[in-house]
Structure 1
Amino acid sequence: MTSYRVPAELDAAEPAADRPVTLWLDGEPVSGTAGQTIAGVLLGAGQRQWRTTASDGAPRGVFCGIGVCFDCLVEVNGLRDVRACLRRAQDGDVVTRQGEPGVTA
């Protein structure tokens, strides 16, 4: 069996034009596209780490990407422990890196 690829111009789903979103990571604007997860927006902007471990301050970012490992935890709009790989980015989201050394993340 082989796969069949539909050319974009013949795709019946007719995807809509990209709708930009901007979130704020530690006070800096980061641009993405509506529908992306926070992790997707951050990775697309070149950010690879946004949490540190409580024990030794080791950097963490996306590991599993499906919400199992909790390495991508961030604070979003004042709510701690949000898994960035699962949360869809909303325009205006305020995202804060999480987990200073010695503080439980």
Structure 2
Amino acid sequence: MFTRVERNSALPAGGNVLHFEGSPVPFQPGDSVAAALLAAGASPFRESPVDDSLRAPYCMMGVCFECLVEIDGRQNQQSCLTTARPGMIVKRQHGARTLG
């Protein structure tokens, strides 16, 4: 499991919470969505549209696209490049993005 490397890893008091699959996930200011989810032990993030294999962040710099999630109703969002904001609704992405 991923852990924070800061000596004082206590999360600040306040409203720094997003919601992943209906569960609250606290985060520190400046965290990406992927970092917050990984620190909370949330994995996998999505399923491959090719063979339904489970995927999670790999590169954490926007190159691999393994961290795609749905954020506030928008599919195919790179969680490693998206800064966490209070109240975000994040869901796993199942298969390919739907068109519509």
TM-score class, shorter = 0.7 to 0.9
Question: Normalising to structure 1: TM-score of the pair?
Answer: 0.75
CA distance in 1: counterparts of 2:56 and 2:63, whole angstroms:
13
Runs of 4+ in 1 over 6 A off after TM superposition: none
Asked which structure has the greater CA Rg, the reply is 1
Q: Secondary structure at the match of 1:97?
A: strand
Instruction: List aligned pairs for 1:77-88, cutoff 5 A.
Output: 77-88=72-83
How far is the alpha carbon of 1:48 from its aligned partner?
2.8
Segments of structure 1 that go 5 or more residues without pairing to the other structure are: 1-16
User: Which among 29, 32, 51 is matched to residue 37 of structure 1?
Assistant: 32
Q: Percent identity?
A: 35
1:23 Cα deviation after fit: 0.6
Question: 1:19 touches 1:33 (CA, 8 Å); kept in 2?
Answer: no
Residue of structure 2 in register with 1:67 after alignment: 62
Q: Over the residues paired in the alignment, what is the CA RMSD in angstroms?
A: 1.6
* Structure-2-length-normalised TM-score: 0.79
